[in-house]
Amino acid sequence: MDPRLWWYLARVGGLMSWWLLSATVVWGLLLYTRVLGPRTTTARLFDLHRFLSVLSLVFLAVHVLALVADSWVDVGLPQLLFPFTSDFRPVAVAWGVIAVYLLLAVEVTSLLRRRIPHRWWRYVHTCAFAVFALGTVHALTAGTDTTVVRWTAVALIAAVVFLAVYRLLAGRRTDDPDTSDDDPRHRPGEDGMAASPRPQAGAATTAVAHRPGREVVVTQLRRAADDVVAVHLAAADGGPLPAWEPGAHIDLVLPSGLIRPYSLCGDPGDRRTYRIAVLHARGGRGGSAEVHALRAGQPVAITGPRNRFPLVLAEYYLFIAGGIGITPIMPMVKAAAAAGLPWRLLYGGRSRAAMAFADELLALGDDRVRLVRQDTDGLPDLAAALAETPSATAVYSCGPEALLTAVQQLITTRFPDRHLHTERFGPPATTPHQATTPSPAGEFHVELHRSGRVLKVPADRSMLDVIRQTVPDVPSSCEQGFCGDCELRVLDGIPDHRDTVLPAGQRHRRDVIYPCVSRAHSPILSVDL
Ligand code: FES
């Protein structure tokens, strides 16, 4: 046997461990920045992060064991346990030894993450940067593969520094609405809160069947709570349905032609079935009653899924749901639980019997789920729930307007460092930018830039309505200006913003419009259609 076999093995193990460790750090940074876009906390993304770190440990073990077995270079177990005791490049080896101890601390606290205070885990996890730095110095100074290590180190250091700086800057931007170029619905507005509004079960939309949809079949109807039915849908051709992530919704095209948006509340990993849950809204406009009248085997159609309420990565989540507002929240809770992230759920309802999926949620952790029944407990103590969360908590809330308003006011006045994401059943209560009465609607023209067609928008019709005569598949949901689904890019002209999507600080924008309610100040408006 080649006497240098163990030495070669030690080098391969060391290099692989360092590369995998670096990949773990880079992937972790990618997860916690928006370089990949507004990612959700799917278990798969975190699994890869963990997989890389475990693989790094495996190769680290190979590195250490091979060094102990090797006689080519005299580095024994005592030298690997105690820094600065090695005869071979003592300082260079010491950086590696210290990095191993820090790496073990990071791994152990990650394993104990659910059992230790979150801030302990976070502080120790920050040491991953030190592990990367020490490991890189160790690889550069202790190894003998200088060329490949040097160039790899340059690339990895550049990637880590870029992503770390990006994360810092991105973090600042979320607190500065005037300088951010992000989607206004997904970041704080003038009051420091984010909103991702979209209508929910029973929302009073005025949509009618403008669009053909994907044909699906009702496979199951099940009572989920008082007046709430869970509807399972499958593709009519038996094939897989489009992928979706927590917070997404579909538009259900009912047999009458009515279109209603409903949040998906099933399992995103199940591509064969969609689940929605619909509250029968007494005195509504008929959409929910029609859903409750559906029968198993009945064909309907859907469009979407679309996601205006994405679950962004955060280190702590507080979910607040009221009534049927639990539907978009439930997949989020499951995603956070599957990812091992700390979360709490405050779920209020008229009574226990009216609270859909309560048992399913309690099964995720009854110490994290607080059910508040209005008939016996009164209203949820929102202030207490918020007070128990650490700063920078992502607060996701969906439910009646009164609930959302209360959460919003509390965060504005007492918890400004929490980040609020809401989904509404209807337009928000009057906001500062709506306090004034809009000017009377006048006639104007809209140019569809790609085709060059110019359409007249009479005073008594919406721009969306007119555009759909030519482009029938322009998406929409609420058609009341609060969900953002109908967003169009403006290429020329001056929009007259009448929506509640844009926060007050952005109502001067000329690059975007929500045509279901907004109009034009200029005689003609050119849109990217
Ligand atoms: S459809 Fe909701 S904002 Fe236009």
Domain locations in the chain as residue ranges: 5-173, 214-307, 314-429, 436-527
- Decide if domain 314-429 falls under CATH 3.40.50.80: yes
pLDDT number for residue 120:
77
Which residues line ligand 1 at a C-beta cut-off of 6 Å?
A: 476-479, 481-486, 499, 501, 514, 516
pLDDT number for residue 216:
93
Say if CB 210 and CB 323 are below 8 A apart: no
Distance from residue 304's CA to the centre of ligand 1 (Å): 15
* 398 bridge partner residues: 321, 423
pLDDT values of the chain reduced to their tens digit, one per residue, 529 residues:
666 788 888 888 889 999 999 999 888 887 665 555 444 444 456 678 888 999 999 999 998 888 888 777 767 888 888 888 888 888 888 999 999 999 999 988 888 765 666 567 778 888 999 999 999 999 888 877 677 788 888 888 998 888 888 766 654 333 333 333 333 333 323 222 223 334 333 333 434 444 457 899 999 999 999 999 999 999 998 889 999 999 999 989 888 888 888 999 999 999 999 999 999 988 776 789 999 999 988 899 998 898 888 999 899 999 999 999 999 999 999 999 999 999 999 999 999 999 999 999 999 988 999 999 999 999 999 999 999 999 999 999 999 989 999 999 999 999 999 999 988 776 666 554 454 555 667 899 999 988 888 999 999 999 999 999 888 878 887 788 888 888 999 999 999 999 988 877 788 999 999 999 999 999 999 999 8
Say if CB 322 and CB 348 are below 8 A apart: yes
CATH class of 436-527: alpha beta
pLDDT number for residue 361:
96
Distance of CA 6 to the CA centre of its chain: 46
Ligand 1 mutation target, pool 424, 466, 474, 516, most atoms within 8 A of CB: 516
Residue 50 main-chain phi, psi, to 5 deg:
-70, -40
The second-level CATH assignment, the architecture, of 214-307 is Beta Barrel (2.40)
Which residue's CA is the closest to the ligand 1 atom numbered 3?
A: 481
Number of Cβ within 10 Å of residue 113's Cβ equals 17
Measure the CA–CA gap between 362 and 32, rounded to whole angstroms.
28
ipTM field: 0.99
Ligand 1 mutation target, pool 468, 477, 513, 527, most atoms within 8 A of CB: 477
Q: Which tokens hold the place of 87? A: 């005869």
Residues 6+ apart with CB under 8 A from 373: 348, 349, 350, 351, 352, 355
Sign of the CA dihedral running 431, 432, 433, 437: positive
pLDDT number for residue 166:
77
